Structure 1
Amino acid sequence: MKTRFLLLFSILLIILLSAYPARENVANAQSPKKFAVLLQRVYLDGDISEECIEETIWSMEDFWSKYENWQLVNMDSHQFVFKQEMDDISPLLKANGYFGVSDEGVLGVYNGKPNKSNIIQSFFQIDLEKLESTQQKSLQNGIPIKNKNRYVEVLETFKSLDTNNLAN
C-alpha cells in the first residue's frame, strides 16, 4: 500500500512539475523589452521636431499610459512612432523667428532678420500700398516672434491685407 501511494504521489508530482515552466523561463517571459520611441512634435508654425529615445518596457499598460496624450502613427517590432500637435510655436521661432515681407510683398517667417535666404514659411501676399509706413518699415526690419500670442497677433493683423481676401 505504501509503495502504491509513493508511486502515485511521484507520478502526480512529475505531472505537476512538467505542467508549470521552470522559474528561469518565467523570469525570461517577464523580462523587459527595449524599443526605440520616436516622438514627433508638430508646432503651430509647421515646424516638426523629432526626439528619439530608448524605452525599457516592463508593462505595456504603463507604457501606453505614459504616451496617452500622443497619437500612435506607426509601430513595428523595434520602434514606436508617436505624434503630438503642440499648441505653441517652435523653439526655433521663439529663439530667432521674425515676421517679414519679401520684395514681392509676401508675408513670411524668417530665421533671423528678414532676407531672401532665410525664409522658413510663406503665408500670403500683402497689398503693400495699404500698409501704414510704420508697418511697412517694421516688416522690412523684421518683427520678432517671441511667443504664440505674438505670432497669432501679427498674422491676424496682416490677414486683412491679404490680396486674395481683398479680391473677394
Structure 2
Amino acid sequence: MIIFNLWRKVKQKLRRSRRPMWQLASGLLVPAAILSVAFVGDGVVSAAGRTNLEALPQSQAPAQDDGSRSVIATLSDMRGKVTVKIRRVYICGSESETIGLLSSVDTLRMMKLHPEWTAMLDEQGAVVMEQRIDDLSESCKRSAYFGMDKLGRLSLFDGEPKKEKVMRTFFQLDVNYMESSLPKERIDELVKGIRVTDKDAFNSVLSSFGDYAVERTEKVMKRTF
C-alpha cells in the first residue's frame, strides 16, 4: 500500500509538471531508490540481500573497532541467522553463555549497544562477543588463592596452592629480597595461600607483592647507584 501510494504521487507529479524530461528523470531517482529497498523486521536489507548498514538508525549501527570489523563485514552479507555467544572475561576467571540464533541485524544492534565489547567468529562460525569485567567471577570468589608456584612466581590458584591448580601467573618474585624485607609469617602465609573473595582483596595482595617483583626490584637497585 505504501509503494502504491508513492507511485500514484509520482504519476500526479508527472502530469502537473512542465519541466523538461531530463529534470523529471532526475527527480525520479529518489523514489526509484526507495522502491528498490525492502524492509525486513526492524532492520533494512537491500534488494541484493545485504544488510544496509548506512540505512540502520544511528542507535542500531555497530561501532567499527579493529576487533569487530571482520564480523561486521560478514554480518552485512548475511540474510539468515547466526549463533551468538557471550564470553565474560574477569580479572579472575571467565564464563561463557550461548544467547541463541539471532538475525544479522539484531546481532549488529547488540554490538552497537555494547561498543566496549569485541567480537570474533569461532571455528563453527558463531559470533563470540567478549565482555571484560573488572571483578572476580563467582567461581573465583569461592576458591581463589594467591600463592607462589614452584618457580617462585606470584600466581593465582584454584584452591590452595598445594593443589597446584594455577589459573593465572603474574610475575617472578625476588625471593631473597622478600625474605629479607617481610616478616616470616607473611611469607608463610603466601606459601600456604592467601584467600581472596573480592576485587579489593585481589588488588591489595597484587599491589603489596608487586614491590617484590624481579623487574621492579632490579629498577630500584639501579637507581641507588
Give runs of ≥4 in structure 1 deviating > 6 Å: none
Where does residue 119 of structure 2 map in the other structure? 72
Whether the aligned pair in 1 keeps the contact of 2:147 and 2:157 (CA below 8 Å) is: yes
Cα gap change, 1:65 to 1:56, in 2 (>3 Å): closer
Whether the aligned pair in 1 keeps the contact of 2:84 and 2:102 (CA below 8 Å) is: no
Alignment of structure 1 residues 91-110 onto 2, 5 Å: 91-110=138-157
Aligned CA RMSD, in angstroms, stands at: 2.9
Where does residue 98 of structure 2 map in the other structure? 52
Partner Cα separation in structure 2 for residue 79 and residue 121 of structure 1: 27
Where does residue 141 of structure 1 map in the other structure? 192
Cα gap change, 1:116 to 1:105, in 2 (>3 Å): farther
- More contact order relative to length (CA 8 Å, sep ≥ 6): 1
- Normalised to the residue count of structure 1, the TM-score between the two structures is 0.67
Extract unaligned runs of 5+ from structure 2. Answer: 1-37, 42-79, 220-225
Where does residue 69 of structure 2 map in the other structure? none
Whether the aligned pair in 1 keeps the contact of 2:154 and 2:169 (CA below 8 Å) is: yes
Cα gap change, 1:135 to 1:75, in 2 (>3 Å): closer
Alignment of structure 1 residues 16-165 onto 2, 5 Å: 30=41, 34-45=81-92, 47-57=93-103, 60=105, 63-67=107-111, 68-69=113-114, 70-74=117-121, 79-115=126-162, 117-126=164-173, 127=175, 128-129=178-179, 130-165=181-216
Whether the aligned pair in 1 keeps the contact of 2:162 and 2:192 (CA below 8 Å) is: no
Instruction: Report percent identity of matched pairs.
Output: 27
- One-letter amino acid of the structure 2 residue matched with residue 80 of structure 1: V
